[in-house]
Structure 1
Amino acid sequence: MKNPGYPPKQGLYDPAHEHDACGVGFVVHIKGEKSHQIVEQAITVLENLDHRGACGCEENTGDGAGILLQIPHAFFQHACKGLGFSLPEPGEYGVGMIFLPDDRKLRPRCEKTLEKIIADEGQKLLGWRKVPTDNMYLGDTAKACEPFVRQVFIARGKGIKDDLAFERKLYVIRRRAENALRYGKDAVGEYFYVPSMSCKTIIYKGMLTARQLATFYPDLTDPLVEAAIAVVHSRFSTNTFPSWGRAHPYRYLIHNGEINTLRGNENWTHARQSMLASALFDGDLPKLFPIIQEDGSDSAKFDNCLEFLALSGRSLPHAMMMMIPEPWENHESMDEKKRAFYEFHSALSEPWDGPASIAFTDGTVVGAVLDRNGLRPSRYYVTKDDLVIMASEVGVLDVPPERVLEKRRLQPGRMFLVDTQEGRIISDEEIKQGMAGERPYRQWLDENSVHFDKLPGVDEKQPPHRRQATLERLQTFGYSFEDLRINIGPMAQNGIQPVGSMGTDTPLAVLSDKPQLLYNYFKQLFAQVTNPPIDPIREELITSTTLTLGSEGNLLDPKPESCRQLRISGPILKNSEMEKLRQIDRPGIKPVTLPILFNPHEGKTGLEGALEELFAAADRAIAGGATILILSDKGADRTHAPIPALLASAGLHHHLIRTGARTRVGLVLESGEPREVHHFCLLIGYGIQAVNPYLAFECLNYMIGEGMLKDIAYYDAVKGYIKAGVKGVVKVMAKMGISTIKSYCGAQIFEAVGLGRELIDKYFTWTPSRVGGIGLEDVALEAERQHAKAYPTYPLDGRTLEVHGQYQYRADGELHLFNPKTIHLLQKAARTNNYATFKEYTKLVDDQSERIATLRALMELKFAAKPVPLEEVEPVEEIVKRFKTGAMSYGSISKEAHEALAIAMNRIGGKSNTGEGGEDPARYVPDANGDSRNSAIKQVASGRFGVTSYYLTQAKELQIKMAQGAKPGEGGELPGRKVYPWIAKVRYSTPGVGLISPPPHHDIYSIEDLAQLIHDLKNANHHARISVKLVAEVGVGTIAAGVAKGHADVVL
């Protein structure tokens, strides 16, 4: 039997990057009347969602399908009679659905371990039942890892008062069994899995297609299997490694979508464990830890948290409102009680953010909710005979129109609920008003929560202009003249992050011989296809920049003081706000400042010692009642260098997670180092909740004093800079489909390039890093060199900032692959049509690559010992037919260049690409000399500029552009000054008006949507190949596999 789960982490593969998108549905009888017909109808719904599931290379091996039912008592009573034991009344026993190893030695060991745990927990084992299965129609892959499926029956022990208490005890039994058999010392790993263990519900699922479920599990076709609630799911796993355990449903939910903030949610949940206490579990709480199982999918981890909240005293709707709150911050017309509910709970936990359609049930109520953006569709019918049918789309069950009482769609952030005990549908408004009215949340907030903006404070003072002192500090933190001119100045002047038109041709930080900030070793991740980016412009109303600072309290027992936190409206604080923060004198809010400095002459030892002292100082401060820790490098001088702010912040964040103290404090950074949007994003992503970039503000004052910033007051410059910084962070969050900074905080949505494993594991835990790199010793050396520049042995007169040449070429600056010499040679070769000059150009570029500016420059071609005979090599004429140009749009390059590329490619039989700017229909007609200016590849991008039916029919290949190569996760942008009338004509737009491609295709929010567009384009042009352009990132292979399952002809 093969491992039923994912392969282990190896090479560039990591199971953490698996994605999925699915079909969801349920059938419920509102009055709670059980029947086999409900089960049959649910299976029909599942089979009609088969196109939303997927299979790999084997058509009979599915990505996963399953059904969750209420326990069919009559069926089990009949089935168990022949097994030597009888069942008590419903609710007096629970059923565990168990996936066991097929190995005859391992299986008895698992069973005995589970039986011992049942006895230890004071419950009674009734017996085991082998679940009949029929694998005749399964593919070889599914058969190879097929588990041995058994059901265990457990009678309620003495002292268990009610169903809910029994459900908690079964939860404890399952978690103990999982910890022992999946993760313990003698574990069998993923060979042991418990789909469900409950006294209310049972789950049948597996690595099946939707149509195989009822065949594989004959139980489901027995007329005695009756239910009033049946929830089904068909999985589209965008990878080649589906598994039995990761099929849905999970214990409480089915999920179509992605949780984009998963790493942060996991970190925060783990950190909260040390503060949890609950009388409901009567000492069993530690047995449940960790709450979230590390090897689960995003859906499984969401289910772990939902289950924990639901069994800890909250109703399912209450728990769902906490985990997926609607966008309340900017909702001016929202009822005040409901707003208070959301505001109070935002002090307890952060949202699980990402596109999602989730159906949930505990066997009594069943409901559904969409994410705050509504990016996964769901629709439902209510019939006159008290049925509710909900699914990802309409038409999943044939219902005569005359039977339909009501049909609607789920709305963003809204909840739909059926209570079979009360026998009615409960509206979103009633659910939430009921939750909001349970406790006096507004009163608790008014008495405890502190709104930072409403506190009296000091005015922002313009500091005196001290040129030399400012320059000294700027050099200490590695500022360059480019930082001022290209980043900080435009941010202050325009209130937006500056945009460049080209990609970067400078070396990676780890390969550069110039000083580098630690931020430069990290790359932002972005969403594409399965968890799309959101549009921060169109969807501004649902974004939130609010954060809270302070101690969270016990999640399981909220009290008025649980919201005793400082609420700030944005993550960037002015100098005056830092002063106000330090002066706060409120119960439960105690800020303490910790220095982040070290002796630069002590190298790695000094830096490591300073970090350990920082961690110890933080522990002492927390023990002394601190609820806000301010990390400050303001004391930097000749003998004290600043610890790299990102290293100190991330290191302390993870130290506090490991010690269980992270949720006891808020983290604020007061540093001269951060000045770019990327810096702010990294700091927030690694746990900092507010940043005061004091030197950036001093820099603005310096620029005004030096005449570099004109016609703007210092106060307005600070305001513009903060606005640009916050908007930039929101834009980066949107790349990952995240709407709230509170969810983004600690989410670590970055990969490291060039950091060593030891450094990653200790200070940037769980950060992906594909290659090795520098360690703490190198970081210390970099800091020492930078400090030495600011404080040379012999003081220099006429001190000025260096021009690093990061953005624009400088002779003594950073290496650029494209520089005046290479560009001159290329232009000369093209203008003179001189092949010898072109060879000079290619040799120069190749020689530069050998200076190791890129990762590929670290590799060498490996030649075969014996060359391939020339007669076996394709002729040049055939090879060039595979040539394709880059997708540069008309508008980003000139008409002459765009057409020349098309003519050249058509002459040699290659393919040119229109880019996303459309194409003049006049080019579809060959020129008089026989040349064709028609581009063979035509792009369909998110803006759909120039896309018409005629355009689509003139292509040999239609390319769906899912992400912008130069700015992944963002849309392309053509400034208004470049939208000339002739370009506007081709793009069907207005001259002079800037054009921005949205980050997502607004009709593609899932893999199924992409499959639909592929289908539509194939119908628009039967002869064209359909290609999908992705951007390379960590885990892109899993997305590419899913795109291939969506029937794309080419993935690039």
Structure 2
Amino acid sequence: NADGKTGDGCGLLMQKPDAFLRAMARQHFDAELPALYAVGMIFLNQDPIRADAARACFNEQLAAQGLTLVGWREVPVDTSVLGRLALERLPRIEQVFVTGEGLAERDFGIRLFMARRLAEVALADDKQFYVCSFSDKDIIYKGLMMPADLAQFYPDLGDERLATAICVFHQRFSTNTMPQWPLAQPFRFLAHNGEINTITGNRNWAQARRLKFANELLPDLQRQNMETMDPDLRAFYEYNSMHMEAWDGPAGVVLTDGRHAICLLDRNGLRPARWVTTTNGYITLASEVGVWDYKPEDVIAKGRVGPGQILAVDTHTGQILHTDDIDSHLKSQHPYKKWLRQYALRIQSTLDDNDHGSAFYDADQLKQYMKMFQVTFEERDQVLRPLAEQGQEAVGSMGDDTPMAVLSRRVRSPYDYFRQQFAQVTNPPIDPLREAIVMSLETCLGAERNVFEETADHANRAILTTPVISPAKWRTIIDLDRPGFERQLIDLNYDESLGLEAAVRAIADQAEAAVRDGKVLLVLSDRQIAPGKLPAHAALAVGAVHHRLIETGLRCDCNILVETATARDPHHFAVLIGFGATAVYPFLAYEVLGDLIRTGEVLGDLYEV
């Protein structure tokens, strides 16, 4: 910040400093902590009344979980190092001490999590209330100060009794949010250098899977595409990718559970992470070389964490675990390859499959569909024809000089009202053709299961190489006769007297009823146009069905397949998939391509095109 003192945030995530925290409990509460205890670092509202209310609510949730409150300690701070912006937003910073006598360690951790989450939900209206950490394993000291001032702001960090075996430091550089105390890193278990560009979708799918979750996980990315990968390891990744989408970087992640110190990099390795081991027993990993002074003769070993790799240190056993060590452990947990071979189904078309699935529309029928779904001559000639001729998108000039859809005087497709969200500058362009090792368009059909359980039934899914379906694959899906893949066709065309809102609600009602009845493949189709009927736009229908099923806890029990005339270019598919579609069959695009060949506008074999 311009005041020279307010940063985007920095902080320390460390293994619980046991001796220091026990000393604080004796000093402030005259209490000897038992073997099993936890300390939370809490940001409270500066308003004393709201702070008291937050403490009372937190205490109530602790009691509800059968936990014992030892007391609240006000954390000493030196505000002289803060800039004006940081001071204006400064919360009250306190520590809460809790014990769990009589509980198993795992049960204690679960109860801590439940108490925190229930308190956060109850105090959602208090924007200053934030739990930095609440664990029996680690603790966080962070805030909106410059890194050089962190230790002065928190005098605790200068106390000789505050000793720890793991220390994660991060300085945040914000590109898309204003500085806020809660957004300072590290977070409860990790810090990341870079950005998780898929975070909105990941959060939405986590919400959809809430009834199937029993734990937390940060999944690896599309590593199973590497041709040289060990078959058993490939099977492990393929099996797990069936039930959770990738979290996409570029990002370098450092994390700790209080026992292990871990660093992992995204599949492209676009964030540096270099490590060095020295004779004094330190292992230092950082995004820059030279974060602390050591003599060259003291170096035992050094290296870097590469693309898709991981480095872990077990502070209980002293083991250093590299990628191969962790991979060997993971792939041997279950017979993943056997399960995939027995239960997984790959939906593929054959080279001699010359069946469109139904007769092509005649010229008059095609004109009706093109008019109903706004396929202009320009789109037919300049968008779809190059696809047929060259198998790739038409080349156009950079930029778009058409009015924004919301300001346009013409009737525009609902797709035009949406724009992509992505980092346009920092990320290299990647696609599944040129970057097949690190990117995949594979998607799966079939009901999802709890990602934290691993059984043979988890492999009972149908795999598609792409969410954009060809006629032959569409016919295979529609004819699929296999338990766990029951279908329900939902017509998107509605009586014009009904009205759009009522029609969309009725579509969502049909979808909910179908899933409750055990249907897994929901086919939303606007193919059956007729006089007196209007098509509900596929994007509206998909979004309504997707969110209705999330609200009712049914989304992960089914797939949304869209047979639509509205999807004709990559942006259309992106909107549908972003709104929750599992796969899209753009039947009208194929009909137009067939007509281009029949009229001689495109030369080639009908089925190859």
Instruction: Name the SS for the 1:237 alignment partner.
Output: coil
Q: Does 1:714 align with 2:606?
A: yes
Contact 2:223 2:437 in 1 (8 A): no
Which residue is equivalent to 1:156? 100
Which residue is equivalent to 2:462? 566
Equivalent of residue 232 in structure 1, options 153, 157, 169: 169
Equivalent of residue 130 in structure 1, options 61, 71, 74: 74
Instruction: Name the SS for the 1:695 alignment partner.
Output: helix
Equivalent of residue 514 in structure 1, options 410, 413, 426: 410
User: Aligned AA for 1:419?
Assistant: D
Aligned in 2, Cα 1:583/1:147: closer, same or farther, shift over 3 Å?
same
Task: Point out the structure with max Rg over C-alpha.
Answer: 1
Which residue is equivalent to 1:147? 91
Which residue is equivalent to 2:109? 167
Q: Tell me, in whole angstroms, the C-alpha distance in 1 between the residues paired with 2:565 and 2:71.
A: 67
Which residue is equivalent to 2:304? 409
How far is the alpha carbon of 1:127 from its aligned partner? 2.1
Q: Does 1:80 align with 2:25?
A: yes
How far is the alpha carbon of 1:511 from its aligned partner? 3.7
How far is the alpha carbon of 1:269 from its aligned partner? 0.7
Q: Tell me, in whole angstroms, the C-alpha distance in 2 between the residues paired with 1:145 and 1:506.
A: 43
How far is the alpha carbon of 1:559 from its aligned partner? 2.6
Q: Tell me, in whole angstroms, the C-alpha distance in 2 between the residues paired with 1:361 and 1:87.
A: 27
* Superposition pairs of residues 1031-1046 of structure 1, within 5 angstroms: none
Aligned in 2, Cα 1:69/1:464: closer, same or farther, shift over 3 Å?
closer
Aligned in 2, Cα 1:526/1:105: closer, same or farther, shift over 3 Å?
closer
Instruction: Name the SS for the 2:43 alignment partner.
Output: strand
Contact 1:463 1:698 in 2 (8 A): no
Deviation digits for residues 757-804 of structure 1, max 9, x if unmatched? xxxxxxxxxxxxxxxxxxxxxxxxxxxxxxxxxxxxxxxxxxxxxxxx
User: Aligned AA for 1:337?
Assistant: D
Which residue is equivalent to 1:493? 389
Q: Tell me, in whole angstroms, the C-alpha distance in 2 between the residues paired with 1:212 and 1:560.
A: 53
Contact 2:223 2:267 in 1 (8 A): no
How far is the alpha carbon of 1:404 from its aligned partner? 0.7
Q: Tell me, in whole angstroms, the C-alpha distance in 2 between the residues paired with 1:132 and 1:560.
A: 54
Aligned in 2, Cα 1:67/1:707: closer, same or farther, shift over 3 Å?
same
* Superposition pairs of residues 25-64 of structure 1, within 5 angstroms: 56-64=1-9
Deviation digits for residues 277-311 of structure 1, max 9, x if unmatched? x5xxxxxxxxxxxxxxxxxxxxxxxxxxxxx41xx
Which residue is equivalent to 2:46? 102
Q: Tell me, in whole angstroms, the C-alpha distance in 1 between the residues paired with 2:476 and 2:16.
A: 59
Count of residues in Structure 1 that have an aligned counterpart in Structure 2: 607
User: Aligned AA for 1:657?
Assistant: I
Contact 1:633 1:671 in 2 (8 A): yes
Q: Tell me, in whole angstroms, the C-alpha distance in 1 between the residues paired with 2:37 and 2:410.
A: 69
CA-based RMSD of the aligned residues comes to: 2.1
Contact 1:377 1:392 in 2 (8 A): yes
Q: Tell me, in whole angstroms, the C-alpha distance in 2 between the residues paired with 1:172 and 1:503.
A: 49
* Superposition pairs of residues 635-674 of structure 1, within 5 angstroms: 635-674=528-567
How far is the alpha carbon of 1:582 from its aligned partner? 1.3
Q: Does 1:200 align with 2:137?
A: yes
Q: Which has the higher strand share?
A: 2
Aligned in 2, Cα 1:200/1:508: closer, same or farther, shift over 3 Å?
closer
Which residue is equivalent to 2:487? 591
Equivalent of residue 545 in structure 1, options 441, 446, 449: 441
Deviation digits for residues 177-233 of structure 1, max 9, x if unmatched? 22222x1xxx4x132221111112111111111011110111111111111111111
Higher mean Cα deviation, 443-452 or 532-541?
532-541
Q: Does 1:268 align with 2:205?
A: yes
Contact 1:380 1:391 in 2 (8 A): yes
Aligned in 2, Cα 1:464/1:584: closer, same or farther, shift over 3 Å?
closer
* Superposition pairs of residues 265-304 of structure 1, within 5 angstroms: 265-276=202-213, 278=214
Contact 2:443 2:582 in 1 (8 A): yes
Aligned in 2, Cα 1:441/1:88: closer, same or farther, shift over 3 Å?
same
Which residue is equivalent to 2:119? 177
How far is the alpha carbon of 1:95 from its aligned partner? 0.9
Deviation digits for residues 821-858 of structure 1, max 9, x if unmatched? xxxxxxxxxxxxxxxxxxxxxxxxxxxxxxxxxxxxxx
Instruction: Name the SS for the 1:202 alignment partner.
Output: strand
* Superposition pairs of residues 986-997 of structure 1, within 5 angstroms: none
Higher mean Cα deviation, 410-419 or 241-250?
241-250
Equivalent of residue 318 in structure 2, options 405, 423, 439: 423
Aligned in 2, Cα 1:554/1:240: closer, same or farther, shift over 3 Å?
closer
Which residue is equivalent to 1:382? 277
How far is the alpha carbon of 1:533 from its aligned partner? 4.3
Which residue is equivalent to 1:800? none
Which residue is equivalent to 1:258? 195
Q: Tell me, in whole angstroms, the C-alpha distance in 1 between the residues paired with 2:343 and 2:176.
A: 48
Q: Tell me, in whole angstroms, the C-alpha distance in 1 between the residues paired with 2:406 and 2:96.
A: 55
TM-score of the superposition, structure 1-length normalised? 0.56
Which residue is equivalent to 2:160? 223
Contact 1:599 1:607 in 2 (8 A): no
How far is the alpha carbon of 1:402 from its aligned partner? 0.9
* Superposition pairs of residues 772-851 of structure 1, within 5 angstroms: none
* Superposition pairs of residues 376-775 of structure 1, within 5 angstroms: 376-453=271-348, 459-461=354-356, 463=359, 466-501=362-397, 503-529=399-425, 531-536=426-431, 539-600=435-496, 602=497, 605-710=498-603, 712-717=604-609
Contact 2:405 2:416 in 1 (8 A): yes
Instruction: Name the SS for the 2:28 alignment partner.
Output: coil
Aligned in 2, Cα 1:498/1:593: closer, same or farther, shift over 3 Å?
same
Aligned in 2, Cα 1:111/1:680: closer, same or farther, shift over 3 Å?
closer
Q: Tell me, in whole angstroms, the C-alpha distance in 1 between the residues paired with 2:401 and 2:261.
A: 54
User: Aligned AA for 1:650?
Assistant: G
Q: Which has the higher helix share?
A: 1
Higher mean Cα deviation, 350-359 or 688-697?
688-697
Deviation digits for residues 376-422 of structure 1, max 9, x if unmatched? 11111012333210011111011111111111111111111101112
User: Aligned AA for 1:132?
Assistant: P
Contact 2:254 2:262 in 1 (8 A): yes
Q: Tell me, in whole angstroms, the C-alpha distance in 2 between the residues paired with 1:526 and 1:383.
A: 40
Q: Tell me, in whole angstroms, the C-alpha distance in 1 between the residues paired with 2:520 and 2:118.
A: 34
Q: Tell me, in whole angstroms, the C-alpha distance in 1 between the residues paired with 2:223 and 2:231.
A: 10
Aligned in 2, Cα 1:460/1:383: closer, same or farther, shift over 3 Å?
farther
Aligned in 2, Cα 1:377/1:204: closer, same or farther, shift over 3 Å?
same
Q: Tell me, in whole angstroms, the C-alpha distance in 1 between the residues paired with 2:398 and 2:192.
A: 39
Aligned in 2, Cα 1:582/1:423: closer, same or farther, shift over 3 Å?
same
Q: Tell me, in whole angstroms, the C-alpha distance in 2 between the residues paired with 1:522 and 1:148.
A: 41
User: Aligned AA for 1:578?
Assistant: W
Q: Tell me, in whole angstroms, the C-alpha distance in 1 between the residues paired with 2:56 and 2:146.
A: 32
Aligned in 2, Cα 1:585/1:132: closer, same or farther, shift over 3 Å?
same
TM-score of the superposition, structure 2-length normalised? 0.95
Contact 1:338 1:436 in 2 (8 A): yes
Aligned in 2, Cα 1:503/1:214: closer, same or farther, shift over 3 Å?
closer
Deviation digits for residues 898-926 of structure 1, max 9, x if unmatched? xxxxxxxxxxxxxxxxxxxxxxxxxxxxx
Aligned in 2, Cα 1:273/1:230: closer, same or farther, shift over 3 Å?
same
Q: Tell me, in whole angstroms, the C-alpha distance in 2 between the residues paired with 1:532 and 1:510.
A: 29
How far is the alpha carbon of 1:96 from its aligned partner? 1.2
Q: Tell me, in whole angstroms, the C-alpha distance in 1 between the residues paired with 2:197 and 2:225.
A: 22
Structure 2 unmatched ranges of 5 or more: none
Q: Tell me, in whole angstroms, the C-alpha distance in 1 between the residues paired with 2:576 and 2:94.
A: 49
Instruction: Name the SS for the 2:21 alignment partner.
Output: helix
User: Aligned AA for 1:687?
Assistant: G
Moved segments of 4+, more than 6 Å: 454-457
Equivalent of residue 69 in structure 1, options 3, 9, 14: 14
Instruction: Name the SS for the 1:226 alignment partner.
Output: coil
Aligned in 2, Cα 1:134/1:665: closer, same or farther, shift over 3 Å?
same
Q: Does 1:371 align with 2:266?
A: yes
Contact 1:465 1:705 in 2 (8 A): no
User: Aligned AA for 1:223?
Assistant: E
Percent pairwise identity: 37
Q: Tell me, in whole angstroms, the C-alpha distance in 1 between the residues paired with 2:121 and 2:20.
A: 31
Which residue is equivalent to 1:903? none
